[in-house]
Amino acid sequence: MATGFIFSASLFFLLLLIDCCSGSFIGICYGRNADDLPTPDKVAQLVQLHKIKYVRIYDSNIQVLKAFANTGVELMIGVPNSDLLSLSQFQSNADAWLKNSVLPYYPATKITYITVGAEVTESSYNTSSLVVPAMSNVLTALKKLGLHKKIKVSSTHSLGVLSRSFPPSAGAFNSSHAHFLKPMLEFLAENQSPFMIDIYPYYAYRDSSNKVSLDYALFHASSEVIDPNTGLLYTNMFDAQIDAIYFALMALNFRTIKVMVTETGWPSKGSPKEKAATPDNAQTYNTNLIRHVINNTGTPAKPGEELDIYIFSLFNENRKPGLESERNWGLFYPDQTSVYNLDFTGRGAIDMTTAANVTRSNKTSWCIASTKASEIDLQNALDWACGPGNVDCRAIQPSQPCFEPDNLASHASFAFNSYYQQNGASDVACSFGGTGVKVDKDPSYDKCIYMRDGNNITLANNTTALSSNSSSQQKRNYSSISMYLFVIIYLFILLNIQQS
Ligand SMILES: *[C@@H]1O[C@H](CO)[C@@H](O)[C@H](O)[C@H]1NC(C)=O
Ligand SMILES: *[C@@H]1O[C@H](CO)[C@@H](O)[C@H](O)[C@H]1NC(C)=O
Ligand SMILES: *[C@@H]1O[C@H](CO)[C@@H](O)[C@H](O)[C@H]1NC(C)=O
Ligand SMILES: *[C@@H]1O[C@H](CO)[C@@H](O)[C@H](O)[C@H]1NC(C)=O
Ligand SMILES: *[C@@H]1O[C@H](CO)[C@@H](O)[C@H](O)[C@H]1NC(C)=O
Ligand SMILES: *[C@@H]1O[C@H](CO)[C@@H](O)[C@H](O)[C@H]1NC(C)=O
Ligand SMILES: *[C@@H]1O[C@H](CO)[C@@H](O)[C@H](O)[C@H]1NC(C)=O
Ligand SMILES: *[C@@H]1O[C@H](CO)[C@@H](O)[C@H](O)[C@H]1NC(C)=O
Ligand SMILES: *[C@@H]1O[C@H](CO)[C@@H](O)[C@H](O)[C@H]1NC(C)=O
């Protein structure tokens, strides 16, 4: 009993410590609805490379759980809607699920949240009535193991749970969901679990661009909206949507429940009608979002309130149905190259729209490997650049700054660019038989510095250390942690924003 007490007490203080000193965190959703993604091991490396500390997955896939073991990355795992029936029916099913799917990997894999069901109000089956019983059973299973304080249980929602979201002060839950929402909110309040919401200003803008300005959706301070009931000033739609949730909760007298954003983002490409789905807008939204939440700015109704968010999504997912934008929410292509650059720390100084302008106006350009190039063509071009092309390829050798990510496209990009810069940065110097493409943003990352016009730090001296013989290890994957601005692959999302 005494040990039990000490254990709980230290847990309590630990939680207090975590609570008191942590700021809002930025995580990322790792959806896997694609047939071309890297293996979970590679993904765990990618996530760590970008210093991402929080990852949300939608199931409890064993390979993924194993891949994140001992990485320090905190995982939010999920019970898919299809499993709600079984987990809601019998406690023993929840016990078994936890025992088989979670326990073997815990605590090496740091699991901190379990989402039981996702956006059930969007589901075509009437699964909503199963959610709370399933959550209760999962919680009971955790309690039996003494893990209920370390692993929080909740469920995610789309903004469709609200019947009104504007003005924010009029935010209200749709009463047709009351049958499961009320017990769920009681559950969350009792267990100090957050209310999880997926927020997409992109959809609100796309579906009513005559009423909603792009600036407002993209956090450009120039636009503002005043809530007539409260006088609160909103400079972005994200805050307005979050506050609509807070007001809806307060209207039901749930004042202590915290809100957590389990998905938000912006697609980088869409169908011809989806004009706002561009890499620039996606970069602007996510950059401004991160800066907005990183130092606990809070929202107009809850200034200074910590707000944790997960950006949707890590990868473009080619098997998602729907409009083209649905397959283009990723920060990364499946080959692990960046769709656009994103600073997860929120400390980068530049406003992206201006930055893009500046870089373009004074024509520094770089040359990298095209994502459309075949592996064989890339390998040949790389061999050529590092051989007859006289490029110094030492930087892409093992343990050198540009070796990671260890894949063909990344290595080729580095070599192509050096050749290009050494040879007058002319278009033809970036041809490589069609496998090279020019970009106007610096692909450098970490300590891997790409040569640029003028800084010809080259040593065309020792060309024996060529990379051609690393080809076997390069066969695994392709590409660079750089940014390919205009290239394409497809993905998805399943949300339905209602905002008016
Ligand atoms: C879903 O199930 C609940 C509880 O069984 C019921 O109250 C509700 O009306 C159902 N909703 C629909 C749309 O069938
Ligand atoms: C509330 O939810 C019901 C059932 O999903 C839906 O038919 C209705 O349109 C919603 N009401 C509002 C105002 O969104
Ligand atoms: C957030 O932090 C940045 C950088 O430290 C600072 O410039 C900005 O003013 C802060 N924002 C708020 C609302 O405190
Ligand atoms: C970008 O450059 C153009 C032409 O130089 C200028 O008119 C425009 O205002 C600039 N945009 C921004 C956001 O600086
Ligand atoms: C780059 O900018 C400098 C200074 O503004 C200017 O002198 C130079 O001509 C520009 N170069 C190009 C290629 O536009
Ligand atoms: C860069 O280096 C290459 C070979 O070392 C040389 O031929 C070329 O003229 C240099 N370019 C510039 C701009 O210095
Ligand atoms: C080229 O090699 C010579 C010796 O072979 C060496 O002294 C020189 O520093 C090298 N140059 C560079 C740029 O590495
Ligand atoms: C060239 O590089 C290789 C591998 O780094 C090294 O073994 C060799 O001595 C170098 N040769 C010269 C001339 O620098
Ligand atoms: C590179 O690999 C090829 C075949 O794998 C081999 O024939 C060749 O000798 C290797 N070259 C070096 C320098 O190791």
Q: Please check whether residues 372 and 331 belong to one and the same domain.
A: no
According to the model, what pLDDT value does residue 497 have? 29
- Give the C-alpha separation, 198 to 309, whole Å: 9
Cβ of 192 closer than 6 Å to ligand 3, yes or no, is no
Residues 177, 239, single domain; the answer is: yes
Instruction: Evaluate if pTM is beyond 0.75.
Output: no
Question: For residue 363, what pLDDT is reported?
Answer: 66
Regarding the beta carbon of 362 and ligand 4, being less than 6 Å apart is answered no
pLDDT in tens, 260-315: 999 999 999 999 999 999 999 999 999 999 999 987 889 999 999 999 999 999 99
The answer to whether residue 14 is domain-embedded is: no
What's the CATH number where 382 sits?
1.20.58
Q: How many CB atoms are closer than 10 A to CB 262?
A: 28
Q: Which of 305, 323, 340 is the last residue of a domain?
A: 340
CB 176 less than 6 A from any atom of ligand 1: no
Q: What is the pLDDT of residue 353?
A: 32
- Structural Rg of the chain based on CA atoms: 24
Of 188 and 355, which is predicted with more confidence?
188
| C-alpha distance from residue 364 to each of 251, 360, 393, 438 (Å) | 55, 7, 22, 10
Which residues sit with their C-beta closer than 6 Å to ligand 5? 362-363
| Residue 10 is assigned to a structural domain of this protein | no
Predicted pLDDT of residue 210: 82
pLDDT for position 383: 86
Name the residue with the closest Cα to ligand 7, atom 3. 461
Give whole-number Cα distances, 49 to 53, 73, 404, 408, 409, in Å.
Answer: 10, 12, 9, 17, 17
Same-domain status, 54 and 175:
yes
| pLDDT cut 70: percent of the chain above it | 82
* 222 CB within 6 A, ligand 4: no
126 CA distance to ligand 1 middle (Å):
6
Note whether residue 347 is domain-resident: no
| Same-domain status, 331 and 372 | no
Q: Is residue 354 part of a domain?
A: no
Shared domain check, 431 and 311: no
306 a catalytic residue: no
Atom of ligand 7 nearest to the CA of 459: 13
Query: Is the pLDDT confidence value at 94 over 90?
Result: yes
55 three-class SS: strand
pLDDT digits (tens, 9 = 90+) for 43-75: 999 998 888 999 999 999 999 999 999 999 999
pLDDT digits (tens, 9 = 90+) for 240-251: 999 999 999 999
SS3 letters across 95-111: HHHHHHHHHHHCCCCEE
Ligand 7 nearest atom to the CA of residue 458, by list position: 13
Q: What is the pLDDT of residue 86?
A: 97
What average pLDDT does the segment 176-182 reach?
Answer: 94
**116-139 mean pLDDT:** 93
Q: Which atom of ligand 7 is nearest to the CA of 461?
A: 1
- 402 with 278, same domain? no
Do both 298 and 432 map to the same domain?
no
Same domain, 301 and 176: yes
Same domain, 301 and 405: no
Active site residue 263: yes
463 alpha carbon – ligand 7 mean position (Å)? 11
Residue 174 CB–ligand 2 contact under 6 Å: yes
Domain that holds residue 439: 365-474
> What is the best residue among 119, 162, 174 to mutate for testing ligand 2's pocket, by most ligand atoms within 8 Å of CB?
174
Task: Assess whether 333 and 376 both reside in one domain.
Answer: no
Is residue 413 situated within a structural domain?
yes
Cross-strand partners of 115: 78, 154
CA distance 171 to 332: 35
DSSP state string for 429-493: GG-GGGTEEEESS---BTTBPPP-TT-----TT--SS-SGGGHHHHTT----SSB--S-------
**pLDDT digits 0-9 by tens, 325-381:** 999 999 999 988 889 888 777 764 333 333 333 233 356 889 999 888 888 888 988
State which ligand 1 atom lies nearest to the alpha carbon of 126. 1
Cα of 252 vs centre of ligand 8, distance in Å, is 73
Domain harbouring 84, CATH code = 3.20.20.80
Residue 385 and residue 311 share a domain: no
Domain count, the chain: 2
Residue 13 lies in a domain: no
| Res. 460: pLDDT tops 60 | no
Could you tell me the distance, in angstroms and rounded to a whole number, from the CA of residue 463 to the centre of ligand 8? 8
Residue 313 lies in a domain: yes
pLDDT digits (tens, 9 = 90+) for 202-240: 999 998 888 888 999 999 877 778 888 888 889 999 999
Find the mean pLDDT for residues 315-330. 96
**Same domain? 336 vs 369:** no
